[in-house]
Amino acid sequence: MKKNVLHYRAGKSCLLGRASLPLLASLSLAFAMSACNKPEDNQTVGQKIDSAIARTGQAVEQAKEKSEKSGEQAKVKTEETFAKAGEALKNATQNAESSAKVAAGKAIEKMDDMAITTAISAELAKDPDLSVLKINVDTKDGAVTLNGSAPTEAARERASAVAKTFSGVQSVNNKLVVKAS
pLDDT digits (tens, 9 = 90+) for 25-45: 666 655 555 555 555 568 888
Cβ neighbours of 148 (radius 10 Å): 17
Whether 174 is covered by a domain: the verdict is yes
Looking at the domain assignment, is residue 53 inside a domain? no
**In this structure, is residue 28 part of a structural domain?**
no
Q: What is the pLDDT of residues 133-161, one digit of tens each?
A: 678 899 998 899 999 888 888 888 998 99
Q: What is the pTM of this model?
A: 0.42
The predicted structure's pLDDT at residue 38: 53
What's the number of CA atoms in the CB half-sphere (13 Å) around residue 72?
A: 6
Which residue range is the domain that position 161 belongs to?
Answer: 111-178
Q: What is the distance between the alpha carbons of residues 106 and 100, in angstroms, rounded to a whole number?
A: 10
- Decide if 122 is inside a domain: yes
- Tens of pLDDT, residue by residue over 96-122, are 777 777 766 665 566 688 888 888 888
Separation of CA 83 from chain center: 12
Residue 139, H or E segment: strand 135-140
On whether residue 83 sits in a domain, the answer given is no
One-letter amino acid of 7: H
Q: What is the mean pLDDT of the chain?
A: 76
Q: How confident is the model at residue 69 (pLDDT cuts 50, 70, 90)?
A: confident
Residue at 128 is within a domain: yes
Contacts with 177 (C-beta within 8 Å, 6 or more apart), sequence order: 148, 149, 150
Specify the pLDDT at position 30.
Answer: 59
pLDDT band of residue 2 (cuts 50, 70, 90) is very low
Q: How many distinct structural domains can be found in the chain?
A: 1
Residue 140, in any domain of the structure: yes
Per DSSP bridges, beta strands 135-140 and 143-150 are: antiparallel
Strands of 135-140's sheet in order across: 135-140, 143-150, 171-178
- pLDDT above 70 covers a percentage of the chain that reads 70
DSSP label of 180: -
For residue 156, is it within any domain? yes
